Amino acid sequence: MSPDEIRARLAELFAEVEKLKTFVAAVERGDHDDENSIASAAARLLPPTPEPKRLFGRSKPNPPDTRADQVRSLQRNSLVLQALNRMNKELFPEIQELQFRLANQ
């Protein structure tokens, strides 16, 4: 690989890293939430269990239903993890290798 080809490939890799960083920021803001799949996954989860009755027959109010928020958080974390894994396991090692090869030419 010639130095010009290495520089061109490095530019492509850096552009992809920036695109993935932008994607991660968008996911964290919630721009990539799929509300239909969140609703269907939340419907499959068990509802929160009510508090048992106390000594005099009173019980605490039922806890709020956070199933959709839990699924949303899981999906966001999964997307972020996929993007970060791609950067850390594929792109950055290739960038380091190309920078090393460019420095040794």
Task: Give this prediction's pTM.
Answer: 0.80
- pLDDT tens-place string over residues 72-86: 999 999 999 999 999
The token pair at 20 is 């993935």
Q: What is the pLDDT of residue 57?
A: 67
Helix (H, G, I), strand (E, B), or coil: what is residue 78? helix
Residues 95, 14 contacting (CB under 8 angstroms): yes
Mean pLDDT of 16-25: 96
**Contact of 3 with 102, CB cutoff 8 Å:** yes
Cα-flanking dihedrals φ and ψ of residue 46, to 5°?
A: -70, 145
Q: Per-domain residue ranges for the chain?
A: 3-45+67-103
Say how many CA atoms lie within 13 Å of 16 toward its Cβ.
Answer: 16
- Contact (CB, 8 A) for 83 and 23: yes
Give which of 38, 17, 23, 19 is closest to 79, Cα–Cα.
23
Residue type, 24: V
Lowest mean pLDDT among 1-10, 35-44, 54-63, 75-84: 54-63
**pLDDT average, residue stretch 32-52:** 84
Question: Residue 97 above 80 pLDDT?
Answer: yes
